[in-house]
Amino acid sequence: GRQVRSEVAQVFELGYRGQPLPGLSYSATLFHNDYDHLRTQEIDPTYTFLTFGSLMEGRATGIEMWGSYQLSRAWRLSGGFTALHERLRLKAGSNDAAGPGTAGKDPEHTLQLRSNYAFDERRELEVALRKVAALENPGVPGYWTVDARFGWRLRPNLELSVVGQNLNGSHGEYGPVATRLELERRVGVKLV
């Protein structure tokens, strides 16, 4: 309809990237986003149907940090952290009661640690630990997960891998409890 406008974001970022040692690199980025004309669902004045509008605005502020360290020729550690603070609000004239609740659909922080180890030119092991904060709307508990992969290069163009995901157990990532899908522990073999 005519009341729908393109969503607009003004994005401000300030970052730094460095490599103080040959095997150590890192980066950090501060960001602030101002949003306008975000989508809303408005109840028609006759209360008989919904229409789309652009009557929400808001802000998101946060930081992203990543780093990598090559401990030896065979072993590399890397990690990252993201923190996010969102604040959305309806503009005057909106009657979309659910709109600002979309702010709770993104985790306030995530953390990831990863280890890559090459036993030799043909065999490697990757292990990853990931933490995701709880969600507010709908309420989803935060979780930790462990993933692993052992790869074996059988020939230059053929690799066999054993992959494990969510090795520490299942967890939900999003959605209301009644319809939430749990991501379960999975182990598989892959040939590429």
Please state the φ and ψ torsions of residue 67, each to the nearest 5 degrees.
-150, 160
Query: Of 12, 90, 94, nearest to 57 (Cα)?
Result: 90
The three-class DSSP label of residue 105 is helix
- 98-151 pLDDT, tens per residue? 777 766 678 999 999 999 999 999 999 999 999 999 988 778 899 999 999 999
Secondary structure of residue 24 in the 3-state scheme: strand
Low-confidence ranges of the chain (pLDDT < 70): 1, 102-104
Within 8 A by CB and 6+ apart from 70, the residues are 22, 23, 24, 76
Contact 88, 131 (CB under 8 A): no
Check residue 97 and give its pLDDT.
Answer: 75
**What pLDDT shows up at residue 103?**
61
Rounded Cα distance, 120 and 4, in Å: 58
Q: Name the 3-class secondary structure at 100.
A: helix
Give whole-number Cα distances, 129 to 6, 69, 95, 186, in Å.
Answer: 38, 16, 42, 15
Any idea how long the chain is?
A: 192
Q: What is the pLDDT of residue 116?
A: 98
- The tokens describing 178, both together, are 């009644």
In this structure, how many other beta carbons lie within 10 angstroms of the beta carbon of residue 15? 12
- Is the overall model pTM greater than 0.85, yes or no? no
